[in-house]
Structure 1
Amino acid sequence: MPLRFLVVASETPDQRAERRQAVGAASDETYAQTLADIEPGCVCDLVSCVDGTPVPSAETFRGYDAVVFAGSPIDMTQDSAVTRSAAAFMRGVYRSGVPSFGSCAGLQIATVAAGGRARTREPRLEAGFARGIVATEAGRNHPLLAGRPIAWDAPAMHSQEIAELPPGSLVLASTRTTPVQAAEIRFEGGVFWGVQYHPELTLGEIAAALLREKDDLLEEGLAQDEGDLERFAARLAALGDAPDRRDLAWQLGLDEEITQPRRRMTEIHNFIDHLVRPCRRETPRAVA
């Protein structure tokens, strides 16, 4: 029986349309494709946690083997109808006991839902890649990070970060500028594994994201001018199309932890292999 994933969007309809125009897919659609690439034949249903749809019942959640939260521009540092809706949805996931995973905003939603806090990052943007991620003592033997080297880089694009994890959570990886790059959160019977970075994104998508955020990147001084940014993005996209090009990898300072899709998606593979499959064996899911 194929694995069943519920992929959760926290982009508004306008944000989803904008990303489709720029990249070809909304963030949840990208995640569904990534899961299908990792787990051929899997079932991926898409749902929004910010469009006013009522939170599904625990029984509905239990019709899935896992719930996966895609990234988005949602600002979990603010108290708004949108952020309250996202947090309420995540609390429903926790209470169902179904394993969950999230990237970037997904980690922030899971944190706030369980009583933690997010904050605006300073400096504001981590754009393109998180460099020099290192496992904490708790993360060195944690299955989420199995197979990662002593230090690694990962695709990243965010302006908020975790200020305080909920009680009993584990910080699994950090960088010098972002204290929580990976975490485990346990709350009301549920288990969430998440990362601040984006293992699901291709280099082409990162290149497109940089171009979408060009005004902010220029304002932050991360590129001298638009042409500089366009050249960098073009090299990234070219490396994505030809991941064995050593010249581009060298110019961009990237190694196989990013250039090779299997390595880049390590945490998603580990979530499926070390949390989803074992939970499925222990508690077979009813089909929704």
Structure 2
Amino acid sequence: MKFLVAESEPPEARDKRRESVGRSSGETFVDLLEALAPGSRIERVKPADADTPSIGSDTVAGYDAVFLTGSPLHAYEDTPEVRRQIAFMRAVFASGTPSFGSCAGLQMATVAAGGSVRSMGARREAGFARRIVPTAAGRDHPLLAGRPAAFDAPAIHTDEVETLPDGATLLATNRVTHVQAAEIRCGDGVFWGVQYHPELTLGEVAAALRRQADDLIEQGLARDEAAIEAIARPIDALDADTTRDDLAWQLGLDEQVIDARLRHTELRNFIDHLVRPTRRARGRDEHQRVG
């Protein structure tokens, strides 16, 4: 299989993330996809960057799947970076190539298909999204296959989907963020996305809290950087040793977050239930055209 990872972070955000965890969000996706689909060819592209050539639907159609990363970009802002990212996502939809996105990836797909995104204001999901509940549609949807009736997941975001576009299905929700997972159909394309981050390690969650310490303090979620560190340190320790039941208890986390295989559920489901079947169908169509 051939995958395209669309790294939505602008250059300065990529540099800052590499300083804290040693890799950009796109590189995190690449490393994980190599483990989930061994032997796949994976390429990275930076559609929001000014020096990236425009990527059309014909180019995207040459891939079996597209993955959109998280990003500090705000999908409701009319900036050159956002316009380039939205144009790329529209090309993905037009190509008919299955796509998946987390956090800002879901938000960009929403806007590209005609929905809307807004700031969360003073609300935050910082570290983990708690008690995510599949909707009636989500309980039968393959994206969430294997997830229990309620689960937690790594999450940190300041924006959220306000209105899903026509042709979209809400798959999961929780008390803080109404749209936690959705399927979006637009043109020939199918997108599965989540507001949380199934791709992150626990260490990356801790690092994200440290990088966004100023915002968390400003919003009153922590009094100072020492308070942020008091939360981030045990997350790091649990990442280093997932058998630490004491830390899991202190953090209020269960196997849905701690066990990497369970944490990656949505990505594995996307590959198994949408990408592989679509690839087989395309192969049959191509065989029939040649024949």
**Shorter-chain TM-score range:** over 0.9
| Structure 1 counterpart of 2:267 | 268
Partners of 1:84 and 1:117 in 2: how far apart? Answer: 14
| Structure 1 counterpart of 2:28 | 30
| Structure 2 counterpart of 1:73 | 72
Computed over aligned residues only, the root mean square deviation of the Cα atoms, in angstroms, reads 1.3
Q: Quote the offset at 1:228 in angstroms.
A: 2.0
Partners of 1:97 and 1:202 in 2: how far apart? Answer: 30
| Structure 2 counterpart of 1:13 | 11
Partners of 1:180 and 1:63 in 2: how far apart? Answer: 30
Q: Where in structure 2 are the equivalents of 1:1-288 lying within 5 Å? A: 3-52=1-50, 53-284=52-283
Tell me if structure 2 keeps the 8 A contact 1:239–1:245: yes
Partners of 2:221 and 2:89 in 1: how far apart? Answer: 34
Partners of 1:113 and 1:54 in 2: how far apart? Answer: 19
Q: Where in structure 1 do 4 or more consecutive aligned residues deviate above 6 Å?
A: none
Gap runs ≥5 in structure 2 = 287-291
Q: Quote the offset at 1:109 in angstroms.
A: 0.5
Q: Quote the offset at 1:185 in angstroms.
A: 0.3
Q: Quote the offset at 1:77 in angstroms.
A: 1.6
Tell me if structure 1 keeps the 8 A contact 2:56–2:91: yes
Identity of aligned residues (%): 56
Count of matched residue pairs: 284
Partners of 2:195 and 2:29 in 1: how far apart? Answer: 15
Tell me if structure 2 keeps the 8 A contact 1:77–1:160: no
Partners of 1:188 and 1:123 in 2: how far apart? Answer: 35
Tell me if structure 2 keeps the 8 A contact 1:55–1:92: no
Q: Quote the offset at 1:142 in angstroms.
A: 0.3
Structure 2 length as normaliser, TM-score?
A: 0.95
| Structure 1 counterpart of 2:289 | none
Q: Quote the offset at 1:206 in angstroms.
A: 0.4
